[in-house]
């Protein structure tokens, strides 16, 4: 792949790109610990984020008028379904259990979707190189990881370069796992993103990696052989010691048994989300406000469903959930499209599968800009513009 220098990474012209680069540092500097009862409190930190979202919206609205690539990306790719879902989220402020929270979080989603899309459209125009766009996105992942470790060091007084601090950054690393694994992006990127993803001790991450590995049918021969060898080894071990024993020693290590009832409690949150969602099935309780308040009524200290699809159901009902599911279906389809070159197809499809599984068990897409939201949106937007490039130039 083409090389991207650190200077090239930081000096891309365009205010949206500058804002995207500034955002992780801003969050690291203003983050603070909050009680569950303060989730809607507008203190100085929240006020700064509101102002930042407003600036982003204004800047990107201006970019939208002058950048045809940006408009095409939002109108001709699966991102339009995510955009419609977010706009429905904005409308849900009219029936939300907390209209202010819904209005702010939906506006934040809209602003950041525009920021990511505008930035990648600018990268596409500047670089005129698919390899350099991918490299820039992966360098940004490392930038997110470093900013995240800075945030944790400042917030919890942890060592900046401790193993513990780095492994907590799995939401900024795991979504990029298959891109780094399958593409020749260099040892620097592989050496940072792969270890954090592999040693994250996140069951959701491991399930995502496992599911994504089924997309590797046309991957590099050595990588495909290694994946097949690993799966065969797991099957043999499972046969010899029993599947339940294998799961007890791996994904359910330290738990009293094997099954959803022995997970981190997400099964109970999921059951509550479905039960409460069915009480207001068509419109939900308001974007973000739904899963923030419905879940917290029963599980004190838990402010979300930890499942983007259930968050969509609780917040915007079956209508919003349908739009959200349609977005993922379209993303999965274009990530394995025939117009994509073979060298990208496996990596993109595996990434789309991983993010889908990740969204089923971690905070991210479907709710507030938090967790894996930014990483997932960056990757899906990148795949979308690369798909459009090859579709229009086939």
The pLDDT score that the predictor gives to residue 228 is 62
Give residue-wise pLDDT tens across range 203-219. Answer: 788 888 888 888 876 55
More confident position, 262 or 286:
286
Once rounded to an integer, what is the mean pLDDT over residues 81-104? Answer: 96
Residue of 217, 223, 231 whose CA lies nearest to 181: 223
Give residue-wise pLDDT tens across range 341-370. Answer: 999 999 999 999 999 999 998 889 999 998
Q: From the CB of residue 128, how many other CB atoms can be counted at a distance below 10 Å?
A: 10
47-61, 81-95, 111-125, 257-271: the lowest-pLDDT one: 257-271
Question: Do 55 and 108 meet the contact criterion of CB atoms below 8 Å apart?
Answer: no
Residue 200 pLDDT grade (very low, low, confident, very high; cuts 50, 70, 90): confident
Q: Provide the mean pLDDT of the chain.
A: 85
Question: Do 274 and 291 meet the contact criterion of CB atoms below 8 Å apart?
Answer: no
Question: Do 121 and 66 meet the contact criterion of CB atoms below 8 Å apart?
Answer: no
Tell me how far apart the alpha carbons of residues 190 and 186 are, in angstroms, rounded to a whole number: 6
19-33, 85-99, 197-211, 228-242: the lowest-pLDDT one: 228-242
Give residue-wise pLDDT tens across range 147-192. Answer: 888 887 777 666 666 666 666 788 899 999 999 999 999 999 999 9
CA separation, residue 22 to residues 16, 29, 196 (Å):
10, 11, 23
Tell me how far apart the alpha carbons of residues 7 and 28 are, in angstroms, rounded to a whole number: 22
Residue 246 pLDDT grade (very low, low, confident, very high; cuts 50, 70, 90): very low
Give residue-wise pLDDT tens across range 247-259. Answer: 545 555 555 555 5
Burial 328-345 (b: 16+ CB within 10 A, else e): bebbbebbbeeebeebbb
Tell me how far apart the alpha carbons of residues 41 and 32 are, in angstroms, rounded to a whole number: 13
Once rounded to an integer, what is the mean pLDDT over residues 328-341? Answer: 96
pLDDT at 93 over 50: yes
């Amino acid at each position: 792949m083409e090389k991207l220098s650190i200077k090239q990474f930081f000096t891309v012209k365009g205010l949206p790109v500058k804002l995207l680069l500034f955002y992780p540092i801003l969050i690291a500097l203003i983050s603070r610990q909050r009680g569950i009862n303060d989730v809607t409190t507008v203190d100085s930190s929240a006020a700064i984020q509101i102002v930042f979202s407003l600036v982003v919206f204004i800047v990107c609205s201006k970019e939208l008028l002058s950048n045809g690539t940006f408009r095409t990306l939002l109108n001709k790719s699966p991102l339009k379904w995510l955009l419609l879902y977010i706009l429905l989220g904005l409308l849900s402020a009219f029936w939300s259990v907390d209209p202010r929270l819904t209005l702010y979080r939906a506006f934040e989603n809209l602003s950041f979707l525009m920021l990511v899309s505008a930035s990648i459209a600018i990268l596409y125009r500047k670089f005129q190189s698919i390899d350099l766009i991918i490299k820039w996105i992966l360098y940004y992942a490392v930038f997110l990881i470093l900013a995240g470790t800075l945030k944790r060091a400042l917030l919890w007084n942890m060592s900046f370069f401790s193993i513990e601090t780095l492994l907590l950054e799995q939401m900024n690393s795991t979504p990029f796992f298959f891109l780094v694994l399958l593409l020749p992006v260099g040892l620097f990127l592989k050496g940072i993103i792969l270890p954090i993803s592999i040693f994250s001790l996140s069951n959701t991450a491991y399930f995502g990696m496992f599911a994504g590995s089924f997309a590797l049918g046309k991957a590099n021969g050595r990588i495909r052989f290694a994946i097949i060898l690993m799966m065969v080894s797991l099957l043999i071990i499972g046969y010899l010691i029993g599947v339940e024993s294998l799961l007890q020693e791996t994904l359910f290590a330290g738990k009293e048994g094997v099954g959803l009832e022995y997970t981190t409690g997400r099964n109970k949150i999921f059951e509550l989300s479905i039960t409460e969602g069915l009480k207001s099935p068509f419109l939900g309780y308001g974007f973000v406000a739904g899963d923030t308040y419905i879940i917290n009524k029963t599980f004190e200290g838990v402010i979300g469903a930890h499942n983007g699809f259930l968050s969509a159901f609780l917040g915007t009902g079956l209508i919003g959930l349908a739009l959200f599911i349609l977005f993922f279906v379209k993303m999965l389809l274009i990530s394995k499209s025939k117009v994509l070159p073979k060298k990208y197809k496996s990596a993109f499809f595996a990434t789309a599968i991983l993010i889908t599984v990740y969204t089923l068990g971690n905070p991210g897409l479907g709710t507030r800009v938090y967790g894996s939201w930014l990483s997932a949106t960056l990757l899906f937007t990148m795949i979308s513009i690369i798909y459009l490039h090859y579709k229009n130039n086939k």
